[in-house]
Amino acid sequence: MKKIKIAIQGEFGAYSHIAANNLFKDAEVKTCATFEETFKQAYKDDSYKIIIPIENSLAGRVADIHYLLPKYKLQIHGEYFLNVEHNLLCKPEAEINDIKFVRSHAQAIGQCQKIINKNKFQPIISADTAGSAKELAEGNDKSIAAIASDLSAKIYKLKILEKNIEDEKGNVTRFLIMGKNIEQPEINREKKFITSCIFRVKSEPSALYKCLGGFATNQVNLTKLESFSVKNTFDQANFYLDLEGHLDESGVKKAIEELGFHTVTLQILGVYEASTFRQK
């Protein structure tokens, strides 16, 4: 049996790596330096799926992802919600009194301000959390700590000085599982589905109002609606939309048809089963 191949952004031990391990046991995981490189991997090789963070409950949406979705036109196969737990990692021989600097991604640094301020650590911003742990392991300076996952500590043989150091609990990241091939589940009245799309409104008065009218008249609930600018212009905007329901449901189909009538472009990103996390 062939292993499932997954591409992620970041080093081994990243939270995307944890999500991949939780979703696909014994998967072959490929690390990519950037989000765009990750998308390109699945675009060039349809045997790969990618696991991409799209939003965080504390930090909001992940930069760049919304621009890559219409560019590479990958399909969403599913979603996954991961509880993010940050840990303070150090060299095996180091103790808390040795630490003067802490390295991590900017979001992780921002989410762990209490322990940083309490110990008067000097932050060092890095590209990602697991990469910070890898750099720490490869260096010889025991005055530097890293904020990363417990998986990073295991992979890079680092010591966990303190677990769960985030300022606020309930730090959750939503990931999308995507691939080049369309994998649309059949409609099932006993299951809940999410349909996602990206559209661009016409540059005219009440354009967005007209686009959304069909969802109201057909009683379709929207769970997310975000705008992001079209590159090189201030005159138009793209919108990312998640709705509750399957594309083959009558109300959803009518709402999408009406949306298409009032838009310049409309791309269905995927129809997939809603995560049970949404029921909490």
Kindly list the catalytic residues: 173, 175
Q: Helix 250-261 vs helix 207-217: angle between axes, to the nearest 10 degrees?
A: 170
* 3-state secondary structure string across the chain: CCCCEEEEECCCCCHHHHHHHHHCCCCEEEEECCHHHHHHHHHHCCCEEEEEEEEECCCEECCCHHHHHHHHCCEEEEEEEEECCCEEEECCCCCHHHCCEEEEEHHHHHHCHHHHHHHCCEEEEECCHHHHHHHHHHCCCCCEEEEECHHHHHHHCCEEEECCCCCCCCCEEEEEEEECCCCCCCCCCCCCEEEEEEEEECCCCCHHHHHHHHHHHCCCCEEEEEEEECCCCCCCEEEEEEEECCCCCHHHHHHHHHHHHCEEEEEEEEEEECCHHHHC
Identify the CA nearest to 45 among candidates 71, 7, 18.
7
Identify the CA nearest to 76 among candidates 224, 190, 258, 236.
224
